Structure 1
Amino acid sequence: MTQPTDIEIARAATKHKIQAIGARLDIPEEALLPYGHDKAKVAQGFIDGLTDRPNGKLILVTAITPTPAGEGKTTTTVGLGDGLNRIGKRAAICIREASLGPCFGLKGGAAGGGHAQVIPMEDMNLHFTGDFHAITSAHNLLSAMIDNHIHWGNELQIDQRRVVWRRVMDMNDRALRDMVTSLGGAANGFPRQTGFDITVASEVMAILCLADDLADLQRRLGDIIVAYTREKEPIRARDLKADGAMTVLLRDAMQPNLVQTLENNPAFVHGGPFANIAHGCNSVISTRLALKLADYVVTEAGFGADLGAEKFMDIKCRKAGLEPDAVVLVATVRSLKMNGGVTKDDLSRENPGAVQQGCANLTRHLENLRGFGVPVVVAINRFTDDTDAELDVLRQAVEAEDTEVFMCNHWAEGSSGIEALSHRVASLADHRDTAFTLLYPDDMPLFEKIETVAKRIYRAEGVDADARIRGQLADWEAQGFGNLPVCMAKTQYSFSADPAARGAITGHRIPVREVRLSAGAGFVVVICGDIMTMPGLPRSPAAEGICLNGDNQVTGLF
């Protein structure tokens, strides 16, 4: 019998009305703003009334360095949330929204997989409740107001050579990375070189995901530095009087989205910054909401632990005052074999030696996570073709690190396949006796923060940055931005800046190509190597196989 696809499994699910899902967490019907029958936003007024409630336990799911073989981090996040509910815990899931760029490009959807999914899967991967469109519109409104201000006399004396605010769209389009706008004569404004980033790299996205409420959102939007004068004085969004209109566009987008898993458990899906070019976590407001309503909240951080988990700790937790009570590190035999040097075409062959080699990547992530002072366990997202010999090698490698490892079958079996992990994680979260520790203090100089991440997390020998970049960092420190954390924009496929260097590479250096100040979000973006903030489509993009069938149902999505 042919195994059903993820979208076929999702389509066969029995969905409950969203009001019933809200009732699982005691959210009254009047606090839900429905988008159809199976998804809703949670009203800001209801959220504001939860401030005095105690928080539940926060569980982070992260992964080893990703490979094309897949690790199943979101699948494990959903499965663990279902598993906790199965064993009688009041649990909720918090994940990010999906970007259209990777959905139509290479990565595919972002709703989990198999029998551990969030639904409605098609909606989540295609437009959803319109949050990304609102972020795109707010971002580009600011772009339009910058050029409009210059056109009508430039009262703020913006130096057109020093406009740092680019435009965005939620699609992979390499042709827009570097371009000249305002061609065609005086009526179209003054020509200047600029470009597009993908929406998930927008500072507006980061701001929405870190803001406490609408008032904090507008303050942060106003703090965005969009340009400089000839005297290098910063021009902010509030100087252009853009922050109010941007907040209006984001009013509804600021409210978290409630949906459900295949097993009808509550899931908050809100925000979506990429983890390789942004901070890779769902919104602070949705995480806090879930913590007020559930006893256990399972969330994820994008890509491998060197990117998503580090930023979850050093940016999201630092800014929001959160602490994870337990961490789950996800791996698969297949991805370990690729990190051990096996090509994708040879993954079906038994190769315990390659698993052993790949475990060096896993153990490095374990060491890094322990440095944050949080209890960690390993979850093996099991595939049907994993052999006993390969699994034994993996188990022994993890146990040699004095760490517990759990074989999980949630992809095939749903919550019944992840019960053992669920019991252990709940126990760890309930009895955490270690002190959460950030990687670096606020008052460390910016370049030293970059070096700290590179050396302690990536295990690099050092950082290469020219005098221009070092001078820019020094200028920002002089302007009062030296206390900000750093957001490393780097390939997700390696501890280095070379995506082909898998495993647990050593002896490398991290080349810093550019730094960008996100004054509203409250961090400095550090662009390393060849990473692009506007990705391109692959030779054969996923979009080629996506269409409607005769029943007007989406096919080829995942």
Structure 2
Amino acid sequence: MAVKPDIEIAREADKRPIQEIGATLGIPPEHLLPYGHDKAKVAQDFISGLSGRPDGKLILVTAINPTPAGEGKTTTTVGLGDGLSRIGKKAAVCIREASLGPNFGMKGGAAGGGRAQIVPMEDMNLHFTGDFHAITSAHNLLAAMIDNHIYWGNEQEIDLRRVVWRRVVDMNDRALRHTVTSLGGVANGFPRESGFDITVASEVMAILCLADDLSDLQRRLGDMIVAYRRDRSPVLARDIGADGAMTVLLKDAMQPNLVQTLEHTPAFVHGGPFANIAHGCNSVIATRTALKLSDYVVTEAGFGADLGAEKFFDIKCRKAGLHPDCVVLVATVRALKMNGGLQKDELADENVTAVTEGCANLGRHIQNLKGFGVPVVVAINHFIGDTDAEIAAVHDYVAGQGAEAYLCKHWAEGGAGIEALATRVTEIADAGMAQFAPLYADDTPLWQKIECIAERIYHAHEVTADTRVRDQLAQWEAQGYGNLPVCMAKTQYSFSTDPGLRGAPEGHVVPVREVRLSAGAGFVVAICGEIMTMPGLPRRPAAENIRLGADGEIEGLF
């Protein structure tokens, strides 16, 4: 059957004025700051007045490890929100904003797909309300002020060899991973090695997504470590005097964005840290706002559950005091076949054996998620070519894991195709079955936290790191940072650090090559294997197919 591209479906949407969407949540129009007719920011003053209200139920959508076959986590998040609305529930969706890097690279956009999309799709996948530009500007303002401070006498006695604050840009650009700055003579400062990360890996992005309000935002920005002195004592952003101006740049970006799904379910789209190199969750302020205004909030965590869900539980929920009520784990027959050993060009034919073998990846995620004390339901995101026998194999496997699976056809049918899952999720959430607990205690030593994640979530045999890494962790503990959680920067394609090792590998080694302290965000980043905090473009980037058509409309965006 012929299916229209996502962008065509999105353009045909019967969008309601954003004031009407806000009204369904009880947001008065004067507290919406419109960006055109179909998107708005929710005013901070209104959000502050919600603190006394009870919270709705929080539902996390996560997935098996991603493959080129597709899993549809965001599509399922949006579809479930619409499904809840269709069965008469007051629901809202919370997802991240899209980065320009994957939009013009290989992955594409982040607004869902088919009949389960958030609109306006083009705006969301491009500049949206300018939040990422504000974050990039604030981050790079600090970088400029550090170099300027050094140029004008270096009052803080910064060791030029130990400036740890890099620059960022919201684009995949491998040429910027390692750079030398201040070349060209005395007037340009002191040359030193540096580099760029992608904006979604910025600590400023993480802070915006974890801060409670503007006051907390400025405090966290001031706490960021930007360099070290010769005596190894840290230099903070507030020592450079940058925290106030950075907060000014982020003032509007801190306010959550409100848009709508194709079926007019309210959607908060705010913040966008990647889950493979950052903590992978939308902003705390958006999630809390949605919980105060809705009975059920559907949110997602990036990539597979080994990354996004673990960080959602161990970082976001721990820091924000959130208590999830249910987890929906997304899988597709196609992706399970790839985890079972098939290549992408072999997926069209029925292969129950490959599905069954690939279910090992699904089973690992189910058991990991249960370890956090939250009930798990599997969503089988339906593709047109899936056969009854393949779907039955997934149902049987999931039942053997002590969980339930529901076939979901939201991509083709919208909310109507996911009503059964929506009904079951509300039953579980309302029953109060969750007994959520993070994976490790705050006072667990940093190295043991890394080992805990590697062993219990990745099923690794060993974690390795050179003496320099272990000494750095010990030094941070001595400086009072030992209670922070750990954010693992690792490939999303495997439980291991080898992106080609699919399924459910056991007994592998996780090499930690570098650690970074995000003191303002409140976590330690452990960079594992060959993962990069500045991605590169593929041989044929999506940007080659994106253009304006003769009618002035965007073509090639997906």
Indicate if the aligned counterparts of 1:517 and 1:524 stay in contact, CA closer than 8 A.
yes
Shift of 1:437: 1.1
2:146: which partner in 1? 146
Residue of structure 1 in register with 2:299 after alignment: 299
How far apart in 2 are the matches of 1:327 and 1:286? 19
Match of 1:477 in 2: 477
Q: Work out whether residues 375 and 432 of structure 1, in 8 Å CA contact, stay in contact via their aligned partners in 2.
A: no
The alpha-carbon deviation at position 3 of structure 1 amounts to 1.4
2-side partners of 1:191 and 1:23: how far apart?
Answer: 55
Query: Is 1:133 the equivalent of 2:97?
Result: no
Which residue is 1:467 aligned to?
Answer: 467
Q: Quote the residue 1:324 is aligned against.
A: 324
Q: Deviations over 1:373-424 (max 9, x none)?
A: 0011000000010011111111110011121110000000001000000000
**8 Å contact kept, 1:35–1:129:** yes
Q: Find out whether 1:14 has 2:33 as its counterpart.
A: no
* Inter-partner Cα distance in structure 2 for 1:278 and 1:463: 20
Give 2:404's aligned residue: 404
Q: Which residue of 1 aligns with 2:218?
A: 218
Could you tell me which residue of structure 1 aligns to residue 62 of structure 2? 62
Deviation string 1:292-338 (CA, Å, 9 cap, x unpaired) is: 00000000000000000000000000000001100000000000000
Offset at residue 38 of structure 1 (A)? 0.2
Q: String of CA shifts for 1:343-396, please: whole Å, max 9, x gaps.
A: 001111111000001000000000000000001100000001001111111111
| Counterpart-to-counterpart distance in 2, 1:453 and 1:229 | 32
Partner of 1:510: 510
CA distance in 1, matches of 2:437, 2:47: 29
Q: Is the 8 A contact 1:356 1:394 kept in 2?
A: yes
Amino acid paired to 1:54: P
1:547 deviates by: 0.3
Q: CA deviation at 1:507?
A: 1.8
2:138 partner SS: helix
- Give the AA of the match of 1:350: E
Structure 2: distance between partners of 1:2 and 1:417: 18
* DSSP 3-state at the match of 2:227: strand
Q: 4+ residue runs of structure 1 moved beyond 4 angstroms?
A: none
Q: Output the CA distance in 2 between the equivalents of 1:509 and 1:476.
A: 24
Q: For 1:182-202, what per-residue CA distance to the aligned partner results, in whole angstroms no more than 9, with x for missing partners?
A: 000010110000000000000
Q: Deviations over 1:223-270 (max 9, x none)?
A: 000000000110000000100000000000000000000001100000
Give the aligned partner of residue 308 of structure 2. 308
Equivalent in the alignment of 2:92: 92
CA distance in 1: counterparts of 2:210 and 2:50, whole angstroms: 18
Q: Which whole-Å CA distance do the structure 2 matches of 1:197 and 1:516 have between them?
A: 13
Letter in 2 for 1:352: V
For residues 516-550 of structure 1, the C-alpha deviation after alignment (integer angstroms, 9 at most, x for no partner) is 00000000000000000000000000000000111
Is the 2:56–2:295 Cα contact (8 Å) retained in structure 1? yes
Equivalent position of 2:535 in the other structure: 535
**Deviation of residue 435 (structure 1)?**
1.5
Q: In the alignment, what sits opposite 1:25?
A: 25
Whether the 8 Å contact between 1:547 and 1:556 is mirrored in structure 2 is: yes
Mapping 1:205-284, distance limit 5 Å: 205-284=205-284
- Residue 205 (structure 1) shift: 0.1
Structure 1: tracts of 5 or more residues without a match: none
Asked if the contact 2:325/2:433 (under 8 Å) is kept, the reply is: no
1: CA distance between counterparts of 2:153 and 2:6?
55
Deviations 1:497-521 (A, max 9, x none): 0000000011201000100000000
State the distance in 1 between where 2:69 and 2:326 align. 26
Instruction: Provide the alpha-carbon RMSD of the alignment.
Output: 0.5
AA of the residue aligned to 1:357: E
| Offset, 1:434 | 3.5
SS of residue paired to 1:168: strand
Normalising by structure 2, we get a TM-score of: 1.00
Pairs within 5 Å for 1:98-113: 98-113=98-113
Gap regions ≥5 residues in structure 2: none
Corresponding position of 2:413: 413
1:4 alignment partner in structure 2: 4
Counterpart in 1 of 2:361? 361
Q: Give the aligned partner of residue 497 of structure 1.
A: 497
Deviates most, 545-554 or 193-202:
545-554
Query: Distance in 2 between the 1:521 and 1:152 partners?
Result: 29
Residue 13 (structure 1) shift: 0.7
Query: Superposed, which structure 2 residues align to 1:182-193 within 5 Å?
Result: 182-193=182-193
Q: Is the 8 A contact 1:326 1:432 kept in 2?
A: no
